[in-house]
Amino acid sequence: MTTLHKRSVLLAGHATSIALEPEFWDALIALSRRRGLSLAAILAEIDSQRGERPLASACRVTALKGQVSGDT
């Protein structure tokens, strides 16, 4: 059984925490490196584009796709 790893982040001026499996964190960190952005910046983009989807779910979908809307 995979353990969730929790990280705290400031999004839109509010502190929140996100719990994801390590593999999803690895994919999001790789995305942030490819884009030359911090992980916090990637999470802020995901948050701003997620609509009604829960943040953790939006992070997992982004990790699977390997991009955030607007990537080239």
Residue-level pLDDT at 71: 59
Structure tokens at 38: 């911090």
DSSP letter for 36, please: T
The residue ranges of every structural domain in the chain are 24-66
Q: pTM of this prediction?
A: 0.86
pLDDT of 52 higher than 80: yes
Rounded mean pLDDT, 48-64: 95
Rounded mean pLDDT, 3-25: 94
Half-sphere exposure in the Cβ direction for 11 (13 Å, CA): 19
Rounded mean pLDDT, 42-69: 92
The backbone torsions φ and ψ at residue 39, rounded to the nearest 5 degrees and listed phi first, read -60, -40
Q: Are 50 and 18 in contact (CB under 8 A)?
A: no
